[in-house]
Amino acid sequence: MDVTLTEVERDLLELGRGYAEREVAAIAPQAWHAERCPVELLRGLGELGLLGPLVPEKWGGIGSTTVGFVALLEALATVDPSVAAAWQAHSTIGSLPLLLFGSDEQRERWLRPLAEGTQLGAFGLTEPSAGSDVRSLRTRAERVSGGWLLTGQKAFISNAGTEMSFGVTVLARTGADADGKPRFGSFIVERGAPGYTQGPKLRGIGWKGLDTRDLYFDNVFVPDRQVVGEPGGGLGQFLSALEVGRISVAALSLGTAAGALRLALAYAKQREQFGARISSFQAIQFKLADMATEIEAARWLIYYAAALRDAGRPFKKEAAMAKLKASQVATFTVSEAVQIFGGAGYMLESDIARFYCDAKILEIGEGTNEIQRLVIARELGC
């Protein structure tokens, strides 16, 4: 498996890392405490050409490999998981359904601005009564002359409510097969469409810089040109975007863990108790050694899944394993890191507390870890 970066990807990584260390580090923590999505940072990433990492140049992106994307995401998340979460949701589930299944006309009109960095993309699958069980979703699309009427509600949708958001790609029930099985379609709903409204930004334990809201559709007219792919093929499209999303959340977990280790190591080297740096105590060293080892194990699972995708080989099982392992490593690492900080780490004023709060969602979002285990078990033949 080739997990090396091309020269162009190395340059992009340096560009992204530099921006993260300078701009993101300066703004993101305050935005997190203010529970504000720092759109200016996403615009900044767009100005650097980094909002279309997986989109080919033909459609305004940079056409990175999945491995290159993972490296960039790890670097961003090491500095701030919320901003990295917004960036990765935009880059994968927000953009990929349009890239992979949209017509050229749709790509030109809706994907290009996302990839060129002037708009943010969002993906609406989850509903109040349909989370892990996506097939039970109730949002319905009714056929009318020239298009469809969309009615329903989506829950916890990221990136749909910022001033940079273009709208959202939504999955809705379009009817049933002859044998009664439900059919689903993907619909592009633009901001400002009559009948499309949003709830307030939701308040999470972490990822406070990410804009996440409930969305409401009351007889929203969606013209035929805004149906992505076949009106019955939407579920398969969303699920395949989610496979890449799993690698992406795994890389986000990796960056979160790596950022926590970096903070804990620096603190352990300067904090003194009993007349010595706490990094000289074997109990602390063992924690740091375990954190670093777990991070490295997760890193190779993630890069392996990414390299499989780049090689055009199946990667469903490996993506699920990477997401499962890396998210566990993230929650383990942030907890150990807070332990190393002691009371100072418990206080929300500290950077490590922000990482601690940002980690839990990684075991829930884009398929809970229980669902990842089900995917892995199914791939094993259960």
Ligand X SMILES: Cc1cc2nc3c(=O)[nH]c(=O)nc-3n(C[C@H](O)[C@H](O)[C@H](O)COP(=O)(O)OP(=O)(O)OC[C@H]3O[C@@H](n4cnc5c(N)ncnc54)[C@H](O)[C@@H]3O)c2cc1C
Least separation in angstroms between CB 220 and ligand X: 17
Closest to 46 (Cα-Cα) out of 175, 134, 166: 166
366 is catalytic: yes
First to last CA, the chain: 27
Alpha-carbon distance of 137 to 140, in angstroms, equals: 8
- Residue 158 interacts with ligand X (CB under 6 A)? yes
Site string for ligand X, 272-291 (x = CB under 6 A): --------------------
Catalytic residue among 74, 127, 336, 366: 366
Least separation in angstroms between CB 196 and ligand X: 16
- Residue 368 interacts with ligand X (CB under 6 A)? yes
Site string for ligand X, 317-356 (x = CB under 6 A): ----------------------------------------
Nearer to ligand X, 350 or 368 (CB): 368
What is the radius of gyration, based on Cα positions, of the chain?
A: 21
CA-CA distances (angstroms) from residue 14 to 7, 8, 59, 88? 11, 10, 23, 18
DSSP string of 60-115?
Answer: TS----HHHHHHHHHHHHHH-HHHHHHHHHHHTTTTHHHHHHS-HHHIIIIIHHHH
Least separation in angstroms between CB 60 and ligand X: 22
C-beta separation of 307 from 247 below 8 A: no
- Which of 4, 132, 273, 285 contacts ligand X by CB under 6 A? 132
CA-CA distances (angstroms) from residue 24 to 18, 47, 54, 148, 229? 9, 14, 21, 41, 37
- Which of 78, 126, 139, 279 contacts ligand X by CB under 6 A? 126
Total residues binding ligand X (CB under 6 A): 21
- Which of 80, 211, 351, 366 contacts ligand X by CB under 6 A? 366
- Residue 156 interacts with ligand X (CB under 6 A)? yes
The whole-angstrom distance between residue 275's C-alpha and the CA centroid of its chain comes to 44
Q: Is 119 helix (H, G, I), strand (E, B) or coil?
A: coil
Nearer to ligand X, 158 or 256 (CB): 158
Catalytic residues: 366
Residues that bind ligand X (CB under 6 A): 89, 123-126, 131-132, 156-158, 204, 207, 212, 361, 364-368, 370-371
